[in-house]
Structure 1
Amino acid sequence: MSAQHLPDVDPWNDIDVLALVTLEQLDTLLFRNLVNQRNTNGVLYGGQVIAQAQAAAGATVGPELRCHSLHGYFLRGGDCDRPVIYQVDKTRDGRSFSTRRVTALQNGVPILHMECSFHTGEEGFEHQLTAPAVPQPEDLPTMNELIAAEPERLGAYARYCSEKSGPIDFKLVDWRQLVERLDEPVRRIWLRAPAAAGSDDPAVHQQILTYLSDFWLSGVAMNIHAVAVPGRFYISSLDHALWFHRPAKADEWLLYDTESPSASSGRGLSRGSLYDRSGVLVATVMQEALIRKARGAV
């Protein structure tokens, strides 16, 4: 594969999540990705870029350190046909914390800035929010089963979502949240990345969890106003923040409980809580997105 060009693959279905978070080390603090993933806007999927930036940062700290938080700003849409260079700055190395700044570059121009903090972990107080009571994933139909049961109401958009889920398995807690306006800005889905089972490295599972955290998050900020049909609305992530509370395996089902506290000035704020099957809160996510009606849309 040329260092200057990545092959144009299917936006979702040709993606291997383990390859996606595997980077080529060019120098001590310089890395290059091997896999690109296109989003519905035709630019790099944000979950890819932040997961790869996290992988680059993690490659520069000791194995005893685990990422506990990251904060990224999307500066430009990434070119799907070119590799991304990840430049890491060693901001600080302390006794129990290390901080890294990562700049994602294409053609010498930054497309993402991210701060990433790592911690050894220690004993302390414990509490968490209670997970919502929802059906388990085995008790929910697949998207294809839903389409067969509701072919008229779950039409082209549902088929699109089903076909483009790629490495992500997901099940809607309430399928109406996909095709109807929400009564309140809340949406819940179960999701996992089965291919993550190919790694037993907790850092890799964290990185894939970061990748998953961008899936269907921003849409909850607008579905109280309208159904987010591709082609009618333009949604672009502006920033993404993630806090890791407890270990989790990305190949096992996780409940993504999302809500939108506010939307204003053309921007929508979304918040997500990721729980494992036993109800343990493993991560908290925040994202703000630009939301516009597409040109020519009615």
Structure 2
Amino acid sequence: AAQRSVDGPAVAHSMHAYFLRAGAETHPIIFRVERDFDGRSFANRRVTASQRGATILTLAASFQRPEAGLEHAVAMPDLPPPEALRSLDMLAGDYADRSAQAAAFLRRPSAFDIRPCGVPAFLQAEPGAPVSHVWIRLRGRAPADPALRRGILAYLSDYALLSASLIPHGVNMFDRSMQTASLDHAMWFHEDVPLDDWLLYSSESPWSGHGRGIGRGVFHSRDGQAIAHVTQEGLIRLRPDLAPRTTIPHMP
């Protein structure tokens, strides 16, 4: 909605969203866009998303016209290629006897082929380093519109990012009465998004406490180019008073 209000070749280079209430897939969402600034190089927009009369999300986004500049980036981690790894649906059999919910989650249809480098972060059962790496590729044909590609990447960036903050504690979303939710989400786009090829999504959690956790992530193209950076704060609250989870989490 914000991108459609921006004239010319400018595309989103940063966004910051706050998730205020849970949304429902069965009801329409109304987006209201405020034009805060339109300059020669940058434009800024504020978006309010509402559903059934209540605000569910607020977002600020900045857009920039293409220009050249100084460039540097931290190197992509050296990890096995996606062809050497199994997709989530292929991993489902490993969990059939341990967690029916986890197996059902791994088998859920997805628009993306997701191949974790090791045990998926959201299924880690033993304490470990708060780090996660997954290869991701769109199963269908990628859209030509660069703005739409960035929107798809923003949607995908929420995947398993918060799970890294649970790994040091030996808990995950399936084995405890965990109350988890995204609180706020920031993203910086650096390059056009090559959705028609594999992307490496690396994430880490530098801190958790007070029922919240921080997740940081970076998308790299297969040839090592940094595509986008992500930071998220989320709710990771242990609720032993709640019944064990019976629903299956969302799959992108």
Quote the offset at 1:154 in angstroms: 6.0
Residue 159 of structure 1, aligned match among 84, 103, 116: 103
Q: What amino acid is the match of 2:161?
A: L
Aligned residue runs from structure 1 range 135-174, under 5 A: 135-148=80-93, 150=94, 155-164=99-108, 166-174=110-118
State whether structure 2 residue 9 is matched by structure 1 residue 98.
no
Q: Distance in 2 between matches of 1:165 and 1:216?
A: 16
Counterparts in 2 of 1:190 and 1:154: CA distance versus 1, 3 Å: farther
- Contact preservation (8 Å) 1:157, 1:229: no
Match of 1:223 among 160, 167, 180: 167
Report what 1:280 is aligned to: 225
CA change 1:215–1:193 in 2 (3 A) is same
Partners of 2:73 and 2:134 in 1: CA distance: 20
CA contact (8 A) 1:192 1:212 kept: no
- The SS at the match of 2:115 is strand
Q: For 1:121 and 1:176, how far apart are their aligned partners in 2? A: 37
Deviations 1:28-64 (A, max 9, x none): xxxxxxxxxxxxxxxxxxxxxxxxxxxx000011241
- TM-score normalised by the chain length of structure 1: 0.76
Q: Which runs of 5+ in 1 are unaligned?
A: 1-55
| 2:212 paired residue among 246, 267, 284 | 267
Task: Give the number of equivalent residue pairs.
Answer: 241
Alignment of 1:1-298 (within 5 A): 56-148=1-93, 150=94, 155-164=99-108, 166-175=110-119, 177=121, 178-195=123-140, 197-230=141-174, 232-294=177-239, 295-296=241-242
1:110 Cα deviation after fit: 1.0
Query: What's the % identity of the aligned pairs?
Result: 38
Gaps of 5+ in 2: 245-252
Distance of 2:70 and 2:127 partners within structure 1: 37
The two structures have a TM-score, normalised by structure 2, of: 0.89
Q: Which amino acid aligns with 2:200?
A: L
Say whether the 8 Å CA contact 1:194–1:252 is kept in structure 2. no
3-state SS of paired residue (2:156): helix
1:130-172 deviation line (CA, Å, top 9, x unaligned): 1101011111122343344x35676424413322352122001
